Amino acid sequence: MIWNIPHPIQPTRFAAVHILVAGVFLCAACSWWGDERHAIRARLDAFEERVNASAPEGIGSVTRTVEIGQYFTEDVSVDLGDGTAPIAGREMLMGIAARLQARTSEFRLDFADVNVQLAPGGESAEVDLTAQFIRRAAGSRQSMDAREFKLTMRREEGEWRIAQVVAVETLK
């Protein structure tokens, strides 16, 4: 069998290009899957999904409150800005969430413009995001309120948890 190879370097160049492309793909895939920023975004997506799930009655509401609480550190602090008292600790936050479930079930939470900056060492991160609260209304007209927040997240027990929430004052 005779190979019709115009130049002896051509198969080597062809193989090198394929190896280079495969290497670039592998590096990109590994950095995406191992990227902690992706893990933080996934954790925030899971929180959003848990908050937006329909509010159960009775013992189910207690279970839901505990599940939501697992997204926060024990010493979480929440500062919603002027006119509100700061919320200190997961227990207090869970108590407030339990009391507000009936009223907040009218709204859907969506996170937009999520920007994650990992701290050196990779055990904490600063997250800037916009929280959109969209009223679940029957019909075509929906109302929406949006606020910007700065979150500090920490990795605890292998999970990213929210350690601090601060409302960002914007132009009115």
- pTM, to two decimals: 0.74
Q: Which two tokens stand for residue 94?
A: 């869970």
Number of domains composing the chain: 1
pLDDT value, residue 98: 83
Tens-place pLDDT, residues 147-163: 999 999 999 999 999 99
Q: Does residue 100 register a pLDDT over 70? A: yes
Question: Is residue 11 included in any domain, yes or no?
Answer: no
Indicate the pLDDT class of residue 16, thresholds 50, 70 and 90: very low
pLDDT value, residue 33: 46
Question: Is residue 48 included in any domain, yes or no?
Answer: yes
More reliable by pLDDT, 128 or 105: 128
Question: Is residue 87 included in any domain, yes or no?
Answer: yes
Question: Is residue 51 included in any domain, yes or no?
Answer: yes
Question: Is residue 25 included in any domain, yes or no?
Answer: no
Q: Does residue 110 register a pLDDT over 80? A: yes
Structural domain harbouring 105 = 33-167
Question: Is residue 99 included in any domain, yes or no?
Answer: yes
Average pLDDT over residues 70-92: 94
Question: Is residue 3 included in any domain, yes or no?
Answer: no
Question: Is residue 26 included in any domain, yes or no?
Answer: no
Instruction: Tell me the CATH number at 97.
Output: 3.10.450.50
pLDDT value, residue 136: 72
